[in-house]
Chains A and B, each alone.
Chain A
Amino acid sequence: MATKPMRIRAAAKDGVTEVKALIAHEMETGQRKDANGAVIPAWFITELSVSHNGKVVLASEFGTAVSKNPYLAFKFKGGATGDKVAVSWKDNKGESRTDEVAIG
Chain B
Amino acid sequence: MENPQKKLACLLAVLAVSAPLGAQTSDKLMEGINEYREALADGNPSELVAAEGEELWKLKRGPKNATLEKCDLGLGPGVIKGASAQMPRFFKDTGKVQDLETRLMTCMETLQGIDPKEVVNARWLKGEKEKMAALVAYIVTESNGHKVKVDLNNPAMKKMYDMGKLAFYYRTGPMDFSCATCHGDQGKRIRMQELPDLRTHEGAIAGWGSWPAYRVSNGQFWTMQHRLNDCYRQQRTAEPIYGSDVTIALSVYLAGKANGGKVVTPGIKR
Contact = CB atoms under 8 A, between A and B. Distances in A.
B231 interface: no
Contacts of A67: 216, 219
A73 B42 contact: yes
Given A20-B42, A71-B42, A73-B42, A7 B47 contact: yes
B43 A73 contact: yes
B219 A4 contact: no
Interface in A65-90: 67-69, 71, 73
Interface in B39-80: 42-45, 47-48, 51-52
Which of B44, B45, B219 neighbours the largest number of chain A CB atoms within 10 Å of its CB?
B45
Nearest to A6: B48
A27 B219 CA distance: 10
Contacts of B51: 4-5, 7
Interface in A1-28: 4-5, 7, 20, 22, 24, 27
B43 A71 contact: yes
Contacts of A7: 47-48, 51
A7 B46 CA distance: 11
Nearest to A71: B43
Contacts of B216: 67
Interface string A47-81: 00000000000000000000111010100000000
Nearest to B218: A68
A71 B45 contact: yes
Contacts of B45: 22, 24, 68-69, 71
Which of A5, A7, A67, A73 neighbours the largest number of chain B CB atoms within 10 Å of its CB?
A7
Interface in B173-206: none
A73 B51 CA distance: 20
Interface string B206-226: 000000000010010000000
Interface of A: 4-5, 7, 20, 22, 24, 27, 67-69, 71, 73
**Would you list the 7 A-B pairs with minimal beta carbon distance, nearest first?**
A71-B43, A68-B219, A69-B45, A24-B48, A22-B43, A7-B47, A22-B47
Given A20-B43, A22-B48, A68-B219, 18 more contacts: A4-B48, A4-B51, A7-B47, A7-B51, A20-B42, A22-B43, A22-B44, A22-B45, A22-B47, A24-B48, A27-B219, A67-B219, A68-B45, A69-B45, A69-B48, A69-B219, A71-B45, A73-B42
20 contacts: A4-B48, A4-B51, A4-B52, A7-B48, A7-B51, A20-B43, A22-B44, A22-B47, A22-B48, A24-B48, A67-B216, A67-B219, A68-B45, A68-B219, A69-B45, A69-B48, A71-B42, A71-B45, A73-B42, A73-B43
